[in-house]
Amino acid sequence: MMTPLLAGNWKMNCVRGEAIALAQAIADGSTDVVGREVLIAPSFTCLAAVSEVLADSNVLLAAQDLYWEDSGAFTGQISAAMIRDTGAGHVIIGHSERRALFGETEYTVAKKVQAAYAAGLTPILCVGETREQREAEKTMDVVERQLRGGLCEAAAECFDTLIVAYEPVWAIGTGLTATPEQAEHVHGHIRTVLATLADHGVEENIRILYGGSVKPDNIDSLMACPNVDGALVGGASLKAEDFLRIVHYQE
């Protein structure tokens, strides 16, 4: 049995004091969590402060992006070692906002996945189709291309810890959520593609999170799907009460 993961992607929200308060509330509300993992991804500037808050908690910490070079003349970039140094153990890679707004490509995603893995960070690789692509019945092709592209440089061992997040772009921040049937369908396809990339059987242990308008009132039905192994939550992760309800799904 895989341990479900409930992850909060804070995006570009919270200055330090707000981040500390939100992280503390989530840590306090997660002390009773068993059989599932909780993770939050604040902005880079809050990672170190939030790491201190989480030190004695069972909440995991992630960055929202990284750059693949170790060091050097790359103004504005953050390396995997810098992220490790804050205490974070995970990193989100290839979020659709980065793909759509900041020129992220299959090439850059692949470099980042391998750099994260090489530095001991667990990559959370995001994939997902736009509304136009879904309407054109391209969903499975798009997701497969993003997986194959993003994982083309990944070492075999990377698949032992890899986490994938399926986030249909049309569902992110829109209040539209994929139905459990839609999510399950794509997640099943993702696992089939992973089976062709990973060593035999490893794909069965790769967690596939669903993301896109996950809320307290839809988490239970999404988590009932056999291939939905957790959630990546944006907006609803910024309110401790909502996120903690998501963390305590089906309880």
Interface residue list for ligand PGA (CB under 6 A): 9, 167, 172-173, 211-214, 232-236
Eight-class DSSP state of 120: T
| CB of 103 vs ligand PGA, minimal distance in Å | 18
Helices 16-28 & 47-54 angle (0-180, nearest 10) = 30
Radius of gyration of the chain, Cα coordinates, nearest whole angstrom: 17
| CB of 80 vs ligand PGA, minimal distance in Å | 21
| CB of 155 vs ligand PGA, minimal distance in Å | 26
Q: Of 123 and 235, which has the nearer Cβ to ligand PGA?
A: 235
Paired with 62 in beta bridges are: 90
How would DSSP label each residue in 50-96? HHHHHTTSSEEEEES--BSSSSSS-TT--BHHHHHHHT--EEEES-H
Paired with 79 in beta bridges are: 67
| CB of 128 vs ligand PGA, minimal distance in Å | 9
| CB of 104 vs ligand PGA, minimal distance in Å | 14
CA distance 59 to 20: 13
Residue nearest to ligand PGA (CB): 234
Q: Of 197 and 213, which has the nearer Cβ to ligand PGA?
A: 213
Nearest CA-CA partner of 23 in 244, 251, 179: 244
Active site residue 200: no
Active site residue 203: no
* Residue 66 CB-density burial (10 A; 0-12 exposed, 13-18 middle, 19+ buried): buried
* DSSP three-state, residue 210: strand
How would DSSP label each residue in 4-54? PEEEEE--S---HHHHHHHHHHHHHTTTT--SSEEEEE--GGGHHHHHHHH
Q: Of 6 and 198, which has the nearer Cβ to ligand PGA?
A: 6
Q: Which of 95, 129, 153, 203 is catalytic?
A: 95
Q: Which of 97, 153, 167, 184 is catalytic?
A: 167
Catalytic residues: 95, 167
